Amino acid sequence: FALSFALTIASVLILLLGLTETKAPTLRGGGKGLLDLGILGILRGNRDLLIVFISYFFYIGAMSCRLPFFAIYVSEELGLSYVELGFIVGAGGLLALFSRVSSGLLADRLGGKRVLVVAGLVRASAFLLIPFARDLVHLVGVYLLFSIFMCGPPRNALISKITRASTRGEVFGAIGAFGDVARTLIPIPIGLIAQNLSLRASFGTLATLTIAYVAIVSLIREPREPR
């Protein structure tokens, strides 16, 4: 765990400190400051992209805890079989096959920000409803809420609108690494909450993180056309 955490942090630092071809303010003597290097320089001059990064941390941190804690709830607390758990997860994956495309289409028509807000609210509701689902039918219904709207396509569309084409590869790589940091850090406190309080408390915390994600995403000013 310590090695994986160290490698994750190192990869993020490499991305943050990597030089880019973007124009950045220079110091006296022609050198660049630390905040003007790599993705830091891009974020420094792009408020909306910075908001996307911050919101993504909350979102991916919550979503990384969804399946393991849901599986614990289903198998250990409710006593359902692993086959039933697999059926629930498979149903969610099947719906995601279609909703991923439809979410991208909605992002083109309504804007990526609106789809992200709706998706976040639906997923926060799903986290809150999990403790009240006690049988297979209700569990399938609740889990499907996570797949009605997908956040990947509208988020990518939004990033494409608020960044220049010359920096998008670096931005997508950096936000992926930022998500890995969230996957490393968020599950630990969620596990502590589940162990010391209850699974219901952990699902409530995940819902709170998702609502925080929605609130932060709402601050984005999405342009109509790409920059």
Domain count, the chain: 1
> Does 28 fall in a domain?
no
CATH code at position 53:
1.20.1250.20
> Does 13 fall in a domain?
no
> Does 136 fall in a domain?
yes
d(CA 58, CA 113) in angstroms, rounded, equals: 16
> Does 59 fall in a domain?
yes
Judge contact between 150 and 96, C-beta under 8 A: yes
Query: How does pLDDT run along the chain (227 residues), one tens digit per residue?
Result: 667 667 666 666 665 555 444 444 444 444 444 444 456 666 666 788 888 989 999 999 999 999 999 999 999 999 999 999 999 999 999 999 899 899 989 988 888 899 999 999 999 999 999 999 999 999 999 999 999 999 888 998 888 888 888 777 888 888 888 888 899 889 999 999 999 999 999 999 999 999 999 999 999 887 776 55
Cα distances (angstroms) measured from residue 157 to each of 74, 108, 109, 192, 226: 35, 8, 11, 36, 9
- 52: domain range? 46-217
> Does 23 fall in a domain?
no
Q: Within 10 Å of residue 203's Cβ, how many Cβ atoms?
A: 24
> Does 53 fall in a domain?
yes
> Does 31 fall in a domain?
no
